[in-house]
A and B are shown apart, each in its own frame.
Chain A
Amino acid sequence: MTVADVLLLALGAVAVGAGFLVVTSAHLVRSGLYLVVSLGAIAGLYLVLGAELVAWVQILVYVGAVVVLLLFAVMLTRAPIGPSPDLDRPAVPAVLVGGGAGLGLAALFADAFRWVRYPAPEPGTAERVGEQIFGAWVLPFEVLSILLLSALVGAIVLSRPDIGARTPAVAEEHEAVAEQNKAVAEEHGQEV
């Protein structure tokens, strides 16, 4: 057991424990906050494994943006204070499939890699990752930028009712507002 092993074990325990709370907590907002703990612990694991840039990108993109976006959506849709009793489906099939997948994969990995020591990697620098991305992986990188752009445009089109699909509620609102405006205009006309 080296220092790296102890760190890996501790951070892994934190990540799995917080992940368990994410999928079992009855509080919507707490679930999101446990997700922060789990993702932060995974960033720590990346640091120990020598992928420094990935760790900081994980903190920036996941903890900084994705979780905030998820919490934002929780607040916008339904943010009850206290536990919500109706969050879960019956447990048996989920436990069977999820537990089977998790424990099966864990057994597979444990059998494949055993308790063998591997030499610790040199800490990867941003320079080396940059050489990789702009050397061997330029084409996927560019395709990803197109994908991000299309996701951006898609999200805008989806969330704007005036250029996306018209919903009945929004249409009714528009009609109500139009009628109000008409009534106000008539009143003004009478006054004049």
Chain B
Amino acid sequence: MHVVIPYVVGALLFGLGVYGVLRRRNAILVLMAVELMLNAVNLILVTADVSLRSALTGVVVESWARPGSAAPGTGGVLALFVIVLAAAEVGVGLAIILQYYRMRRAVVVDDVRLDADEERVAG
């Protein structure tokens, strides 16, 4: 298989995620774009597991990078870890967004006023 295809797909998805984070004003849509970026990284990790392992066979390298020392599947394990991190991030992120919505009735990232709370505390 030609590994360049999933690599390019991952790069394009990451670009789309960056575009979404910068373009969207709704906080939930920003989280969705972050998910796209995390998935792009996962895809590249899994692909690297395929390509680098076969590219390194027969190459004399440092001991910490020897392909025989790391059993196949390391990229998949790292991808699993990233998926777990993403799940935790979405949970906490949505809790923050919902709490903010309960306080201000808005989910627009542009309109978040950081000084409003201080005024209220001072007043």
Residues of A within 8 A of B (CB): 2, 4-5, 8-9, 12, 15-16, 19-20, 22-23, 28, 31-32, 35, 38-39, 42, 45-46, 48-51, 53-54, 57-58, 61-62, 65-66, 69-70, 72-74, 76-78, 84, 86-89, 91, 93-95, 97-103, 105-106, 108-110, 113-122, 124, 128-129, 131-133, 135-137, 140-141, 144, 147-148, 151-152, 154-156, 158-159, 161, 164, 167-170
Shortest Cβ distance from A103 into B: residue: B15
> Nearest Cβ in chain A — how far from B121, in angstroms?
11
> Given the interface contacts A16-B9, A109-B4, A115-B4, does A86 sit within 8 Å of B107 by beta carbon?
no
Contacts of B92 in A (CB 8 A): 151, 154-155, 158
Q: Is B112 an interface residue (CB 8 A)?
A: no
Bound CA span A170–B122, Å:
20
Contacts of B16 in A (CB 8 A): 16, 19-20, 22-23, 98, 102
Cβ A62 vs Cβ B35 within 8 A? yes
Shortest Cβ distance from B7 into A: residue: A109
Chain B interface secondary structure, helix, strand, loop or mixed? Answer: helix
Most chain-B Cβ atoms within 10 A of its Cβ — which of A74, A116, A122, A155?
A155
> Nearest Cβ in chain A — how far from B16, in angstroms?
5
Contacts of A54 in B (CB 8 A): 42, 46, 76, 79-80, 83
Residues of B within 8 A of A (CB): 1-20, 22-26, 28-29, 31-33, 35-36, 39, 42-43, 46-47, 49-51, 53-55, 70-77, 79-81, 83-92, 94-99, 101-103, 107-108, 110, 120
Most chain-B Cβ atoms within 10 A of its Cβ — which of A5, A98, A117?
A98
> Given the interface contacts A102-B12, A113-B3, A118-B3, does A144 sit within 8 Å of B84 by beta carbon?
yes
Q: Which of A35, A77, A118 contacts B2 (CB 8 A)?
A: A118
Q: Which of A35, A76, A102, A155 contacts B32 (CB 8 A)?
A: A35
Q: Which of A46, A86, A169 contacts B46 (CB 8 A)?
A: A46
> Given the interface contacts A12-B5, A132-B77, does A77 sit within 8 Å of B99 by beta carbon?
no
Cβ B94 vs Cβ A73 within 8 A? yes
Cβ B80 vs Cβ A74 within 8 A? no
Cβ A102 vs Cβ B14 within 8 A? yes
Cβ B95 vs Cβ A4 within 8 A? no
Bound CA span A167–B13, Å:
38
Cβ B24 vs Cβ A73 within 8 A? no
